Amino acid sequence: MVELSAALEGQCNKVLAATVPSPIRVVDDKFSQIDGILKLTLGEPDFAAPEHIKQAIIRDVQANDSHYSPSQGIMPLREAISDYLVERFDTPRYDPATEISVTVGAAEAINAAFQALFNPGDELIIPTPTFPLYESVAQTSDIKVVGLNTAPDFIVTPEKLKHVLAEHPNAKAILLNYPSNPTGVTYSEDELKELVAILREHQLLVIADEIYAELVYDAKHTSMARLLPEQTVLISGVSKSHAMTGYRIGYAVGPAKLMKQVGKAHQSMLATAPGPMMAGALEALRNGREDPVKMRAVYEERRDLVLKGLAEAGFTAARPGGAFYIFAKIPEFLNTNDIEFVYDLADSVKLGVAPGSIFGAGGEGYIRISYAASTEDLESAITRLKHYVDLTR
Amino acid sequence: MVELSAALEGQCNKVLAATVPSPIRVVDDKFSQIDGILKLTLGEPDFAAPEHIKQAIIRDVQANDSHYSPSQGIMPLREAISDYLVERFDTPRYDPATEISVTVGAAEAINAAFQALFNPGDELIIPTPTFPLYESVAQTSDIKVVGLNTAPDFIVTPEKLKHVLAEHPNAKAILLNYPSNPTGVTYSEDELKELVAILREHQLLVIADEIYAELVYDAKHTSMARLLPEQTVLISGVSKSHAMTGYRIGYAVGPAKLMKQVGKAHQSMLATAPGPMMAGALEALRNGREDPVKMRAVYEERRDLVLKGLAEAGFTAARPGGAFYIFAKIPEFLNTNDIEFVYDLADSVKLGVAPGSIFGAGGEGYIRISYAASTEDLESAITRLKHYVDLTR
């Protein structure tokens, strides 16, 4: 241990110092202290990365890829991203040389985009409930967050969008994350087209975080990069689609004039992503197009299992069209709030779920359940939840 | 290609938009267009990563380490960093749980430290010539950079330090990078102790970038984390010591009250470093203590080879005590400046070296030669340089 010189205390960045650690981590850490707890709190696939991706990484390490890669990522990966987006989501063909940056996870892409595309005081509309990272990164970048509460259907409707724009006529951008973490809700093409008309009229910049695009169950994912490429910076990656969260490869794509700046922010932030991890992502996008299909089928079964169990326990949930989250309303008869509920649930039946209110306005009274867990664990979770309800009601 | 909507042009972050791309990359890109050029511009080992480190990564990938790691890095690696710093540099024992963050290269550690430890307008003293990243990250973090020209000996002396502190009494911090990129100059323990007395008196925060600590030739490296731990955040990593730049594992250590904030900035920036790359760094620090010793012996021979050749060609250089750079003064008789010189050298004898002025005040009239290249290439480089001088004088 090292004692900080007393004269240097309290001099850290005030904005950052005032932010609390990622609330989902705080909840998760508390749960981790309960023996035998079953946690459905984390947003990552329970699958291991596919074997062919692991082998590609191993080959790359064996081939001595231990030197710096180009700052925006190895060119074959940038080409693979360009091809993948065209072939899978019918986007325009992004130029690998000027319109694509490979990042360390989608998180870094969000940081680089926020740092590059905003000036202090710019207004960014963030629909809630939402992944808390956006707001904390916006705060440290001195971006003014305009919240847009989407409860109870968790969709940005044309009416809600028009309303927030009337109240904030100078808003510069909107963040759209769909399928959504934490709600699992996504948009149909028709719903998006209605929004696009308004976004075009107002010339809003769109930061589209579509990291869950491969996990859409009932229809095909429609990308903002197809509908509104001239105003969109698309954030995505292979973490969720190919169960390789720990390898940390994401990307940002968009018009060259924006990506020139995003790429600068990225280069300044960490020079370049690790070469062997990029080799894994290249394999995922070139030869792993079927990997998400198989995982999706499993997730869909689990989703239906959990939805059925929740309904039997008296919980209602908007039908999640994507990702691996269910955002469920705590029944009135339990007469509690979501924070009290999740801690009581953890204490009494050793089941850990995330309280909805940590995801912002509109999340109060809800819980987020991640069904990126084994079928056995999910069945046990439902049994525990039902038992809790029986004990309590 | 995607055309940006005209209404969205010119709205990017103004500070970032005004920064030029990393100047060393610009020079390097121009050189790359010259057929048959021999480049001594890059700051990375030419060695491949040691085999035992590659095998540790491969085992980790095979063991399905494809999930998120803890945000501050896997605990065994944090423990290894703590042990390594004590055993190798006689620092205090940093607490792995609260005083160490594993980052994506030292570059990310610098970003996280700057973001966490400064408020807008805070003054940071940066001795020059220096690695340009510090200033560009400082700019985007709204930190006011106070330059401290160290030419011609490239050492921060007590007199120079007192002088800059008298002129900038509100300076909050100083960045010390030694052994230095670009000069290769480093400090003796006695020299550092004189500085420490002043730094302690003024209660200056020290950001000590000691990434080249394992590449010190004529004495043992003395860490600021040993001499002044209560005021120091140490930045380092295994990229240069173990020839694993492309794996991108760095770290920051310091008093818990500072590291709590640095860790938050890191977590918000990219969640966590990739697991398999951390497994490689763990192997490097636990079982690779001899790796830098072998590489250092080779670098030292190369340094002496280049120094001798430079002297024969009429160039003088401060004797570099560490890293793998020589900062050499262009002889007066060539009657040129460093920018003209490096382009003319590249055109006429196809030798690429970095112009000193891109490293800031004090670098004008110098060139930086990286001797992280094969002995054969270095011999050829000296031959070309002598030929150029013969042609020109």
Which residues 39-78 on chain B approach chain A with CB closer than 8 angstroms? 42, 44, 48-49, 54, 57-58, 61-62, 64-69, 71
Each residue of A97-119: pLDDT tens digit?
999 999 999 999 999 999 999 99
- Does the CB of B13 have a partner CB in chain A at under 8 Å? yes
Q: Does B33 touch chain A (CB under 8 A)?
A: no
Indicate the pairing of strand B351-352 with strand A354-355. unpaired
Give the phi and the psi of residue B144 in degrees, each rounded to 5: -85, 115
pLDDT of residue B244: 97
* Helix axes of A375-392 and A338-349: crossing angle, nearest 10 degrees: 110
Which chain B residues are Cβ-neighbours of A240 within 8 angstroms? Answer: none
With CB atoms and an 8 Å threshold, state whether A116 touches B16: yes
Q: How far is B244 from chain A (nearest CA, A)?
A: 5
Mean pLDDT of chain B: 96
Contact between A58 and B66 under an 8 Å Cβ cutoff? The reply is no
Domain boundary among B248, B269, B287: B287
Query: Is B267 in Cβ contact with A22 (below 8 Å)?
Result: yes
Q: Which residues of A touch B251 (CB under 8 A)?
A: none
Q: Is the domain of B22 the same as that of B72? A: no
Query: Is B256 close to A4, i.e. CB distance below 8 A?
Result: yes
Strand B38-39 to B232-237 pairing: unpaired
Q: Judge if A101 and A39 occupy the same domain.
A: no
Whether A37 and A103 share a structural domain: no
Residue B25 has pLDDT above 80, yes or no: no
pLDDT of residue B218: 86
Contact A255 B64 (CB under 8 A): no
Domain match, A205 and A101 both: yes
Q: Which residues of A touch B226 (CB under 8 A)?
A: none
Q: Per the CB < 8 Å rule, is B246 touching A274?
A: yes
Residue B1 lies in a domain: no
A9 contacts in chain B (CB < 8 Å): 257
CB-CB under 8 Å, A119 with B246:
no
- Mean pLDDT, range A194-217, rounded to an integer: 97
Q: What whole-number percentage of chain A has pLDDT above 90?
A: 93
Domain boundary residue, one of B241, B264, B287? B287
ipTM at complex level: 0.96
- What range defines the domain where residue B236 resides? 51-287
Residue B28 in contact with partner chain A when CB distance is under 8 A: no
Residue A44 has pLDDT above 90, yes or no: no
At residue A23, the pLDDT reads: 78
Query: What proportion of chain A, given as a percentage, has pLDDT over 70?
Result: 100
Interface test with B, best of A3, A15, A16 (most B CBs within 10 A): A16
Q: Identify whether residues B213 and B324 lie together within a single domain.
A: no
Inter-chain touch A116–B265, beta carbons under 8 Å: no
B97-142: per-residue pLDDT in tens? 999 999 999 999 999 999 999 999 999 999 999 999 999 999 989 9
DSSP run (H or E) holding B265: helix B256-270
- Residue bearing the bigger pLDDT, A20 or B343: B343
Query: What pLDDT sits at residue A28?
Result: 83
Exposure class string for B185-197: b at 16+ Cβ within 10 A, else e = bbbeeebbebbbe
Is residue B125 situated within a structural domain?
yes
pLDDT-based confidence at A94, cuts 50/70/90? very high
The chain A residue lying nearest B276, using CA atoms, is A247
| Shortest distance, CA B267 to any CA of chain A (angstroms) | 9
The CATH number linked to B14 is 3.90.1150.10
Chain-chain contact of B265 with A16 (C-beta, under 8 angstroms): yes
Nearest-Cα residue of chain A relative to residue B103: A270
**pLDDT interval class at A308 (50, 70, 90):** very high
Asked whether the beta carbons of A326 and A184 are under 8 A apart, the reply is: yes
- Note whether A73 and A215 are same-domain residues: yes
Q: H or E stretch including B249?
A: strand B249-253
Answer whether residue B281 is part of any domain. Answer: yes
Domain count within chain B = 2
Distance (Å, whole) CA A58 – CA B276:
10
Q: How confident is the model at residue B44 (pLDDT cuts 50, 70, 90)?
A: confident
Above 90 in pLDDT, residue B32? no
Confirm whether A44 is domain-assigned: yes
Distance of CA B324 to the CA centre of its chain: 11
Please say whether the beta carbons of A217 and A322 come within 8 A.
yes
Q: Which of B370, B213, B386 is nearest to B303 (CA)?
A: B370
Which residues of chain B are within 8 Å of residue A230 when distances are taken between CB atoms?
A: 2-5, 8
> Would the pLDDT of B5 be above 80?
yes
What is the chain B residue with the closest CA to A116?
B13
Residue B271 — φ and ψ, nearest 5°?
70, -65
| B219: three-class secondary structure by DSSP | coil
pLDDT band at A298 (very low <50, low <70, confident <90, very high): very high
Residues A347 and A260 both lie in one domain: no
- The answer to the question of residue A220 being in a domain is yes
User: What's phi and psi for B288, nearest 5 deg?
Assistant: -125, 30
Closest CA to B153 of B361, B285, B317, B360: B317
**Distance (Å, rounded) from C-alpha B39 to C-alpha B18?**
28
Residue where one domain finishes, among candidates B240, B256, B287? B287
| A2 inside domain | no
- For A9-47, give the DSSP string: TT-S-HHHHHSPS-HHHHHHHHHHTSTT-EE----S-SS
Q: What is the pLDDT of residues B58-103, one digit of tens each?
A: 999 999 999 999 999 999 999 999 999 999 999 999 999 999 999 9
* Nearest CA-CA distance, residue B335 and chain A, Å: 35
Partner-chain residue, chosen from A105, A267, A275, that has the shortest CB–CB distance to B246? A275
**Per-residue pLDDT band at B26 (split at 50, 70, 90):** confident
Q: Which residue of B has its CA nearest to A141?
A: B141
What CATH number is attached to the domain comprising A205? 3.40.640.10
Contacts of A261 in chain B (CB under 8 A): 12-13, 16-17
Q: Which residue of A205, A245, A264 is in closest CB contact with B67?
A: A245
- pLDDT at position B355 over 80: yes
pLDDT mean across residues, chain A: 96
Write down the pLDDT at residue A302: 96
The residue-averaged pLDDT of A23-36 equals 86
Q: How large is the average pLDDT for residues A132-150? A: 95
To the nearest whole angstrom, how far is the Cα of B311 from the nearest Cα of chain A? 31
Q: Is residue A332 part of a domain?
A: yes
Q: Is the pLDDT of residue B389 over 80?
A: yes
Please judge whether B107 and A264 are an interchain contact, meaning their C-beta atoms are less than 8 angstroms apart.
no
Let me know whether B143 and B118 are in one domain. Answer: yes
pLDDT for the residue A22: 73
Whether residue A85 sits in one domain with residue A169: yes
CA distance B168 to chain A (A): 17
- pLDDT surpasses 80 at B170: yes
Candidates A98, A245, A257; nearest CB to B9: A257
Q: Which residues contact B235 (CB under 8 A, 6 or more apart)?
A: B106, B109, B110, B113, B207, B208, B209, B210, B211, B250, B251, B252
pLDDT-derived band of residue B235, with 50, 70 and 90 as boundaries? very high
Task: Give the per-residue pLDDT at A27.
Answer: 87
Query: Does B90 share its domain with B59?
Result: yes
User: Rounded CA gap, B331 and A107, in Å?
Assistant: 49
Look at residue B24 in the predicted model and tell me its pLDDT: 79
Q: pLDDT digit string (tens) for A326-368?
A: 999 999 999 999 999 999 999 999 999 999 999 999 999 999 9
Instruction: Say whether both A95 and A178 belong to one domain.
Output: yes
Asked whether residue B43 falls in the same domain as residue B60, the answer is no
- Residue B28, pLDDT > 90, answer no
Q: What are phi and psi of A150, to 5 degrees?
A: -100, 0
Check pLDDT > 90 for residue B29: no
Cβ contact A256–B4 (<8 Å): yes
Instruction: Kindly state whether residue B276 falls inside one of the protein's structural domains.
Output: yes
Taking CA–CA distances from B107, the nearest residue in chain A reads: A270
- pLDDT at A50 (0 to 100): 98
